[in-house]
Amino acid sequence: MQFFVDNFPLLRDAFLTTLSLSLLGGLLALVLGTLLAAFRVSPIPPLRGLSTFYVETFRNTPLTVVFFFIIFGLPQIDFALSFYTGSVLAVGLYTAAFVCEAVRSGINAVNPGQAEASRAIGLTFGQSLREVVLPQAFRTVVPPLGNVWIAMVKNTSIAAGFAVTELTASLQRLANANAGELLLVLVAVVAGYMLITVPSAIAINHVERRVAILR
């Protein structure tokens, strides 16, 4: 117990850093991923091509490489970011590709007749997508989006290798300082991740049941 008391400030700060990385990266991924999904189903070929290129590039590139490119590559063109901001950007941009595919699957699950009917009454493609298709699509993709979110929370651990003191970085520091209490260190860090992922899973299941009733 004394171990947790002595190291509570470090664990608390590391937990809050992981949480903020997850929330900001998740918000970026959701907004960008939804936009990319709209591009994927757009009637404009260049937009479809751009979105496909983005998704295939990020889905087939290791996240660690994305971190290196943003944190160490961008300064080469005089666009330097802090380690924290770069980590948010890396996690968000990478996860957006997976959000895009999840949302696109939801869009494809919507009855095409609804989009056709909305265009028949004078709605543009954008209006039809925003007012008719996307609200239904999001209801069908709650589970896959939830899985993407939980995977992203765990992916924030890569930021530990780039001078961001989140939970995995605190594991390294505490393990070095408390070699005889490694098991307690591991328990503390795992508990920190579970404080984010377990409530998230419960909330996702609740939302899934609610939207299933609405459908």
Query: Which pLDDT score is estimated for 191?
Result: 87
Q: Which residues of the chain have pLDDT under 50?
A: none
Q: Helices then strands (H, E): number in the chain?
A: 10, 0
Query: Which pLDDT score is estimated for 1?
Result: 62
Dihedral sign, CA of 20, 51, 40, 64? negative
Query: Which pLDDT score is estimated for 210?
Result: 81
The string of pLDDT tens digits covering residues 160-209 is 877 686 777 777 777 777 766 778 878 888 888 999 999 999 999 988 88
Amino acid type, 31:
V
Instruction: State the DSSP H helix or E strand holding residue 46, giving kind and residue range, or none if neither.
Output: helix 45-59
Here the CATH number for the domain that contains residue 40 is: 1.10.3720.10
d(CA 171, CA 168): 5
Q: Which of 194, 189, 159 is CA-nearest to residue 87?
A: 159
Query: Which pLDDT score is estimated for 50?
Result: 95
Query: Which pLDDT score is estimated for 32?
Result: 97
d(CA 213, CA 207): 10
DSSP secondary structure letter of residue 166: S
CB 53 within 8 A of CB 47: no
Name residues whose C-beta falls within 8 Å of residue 159's C-beta, 6 or more positions apart in sequence. Answer: 21, 67, 83, 84, 87, 90, 91, 166, 168, 169
Helix/strand/coil (H/E/C) assignment for every residue in 98-164: HHHHHHHHHHHHCCHHHHHHHHHCCCCHHHHHHHHHHHHHHHHCHHHHHHHHHHHHHHHHHHHHHCC
Task: Enter the pTM of the model.
Answer: 0.89
Question: 151: domain range?
Answer: 1-211
CA 3 and chain centroid, separation: 32
Amino acid type, 107:
I
Domain count, the chain: 1
Query: Which pLDDT score is estimated for 100?
Result: 96
Query: Which pLDDT score is estimated for 64?
Result: 93
Query: Which pLDDT score is estimated for 3?
Result: 64
Query: Which pLDDT score is estimated for 212?
Result: 65
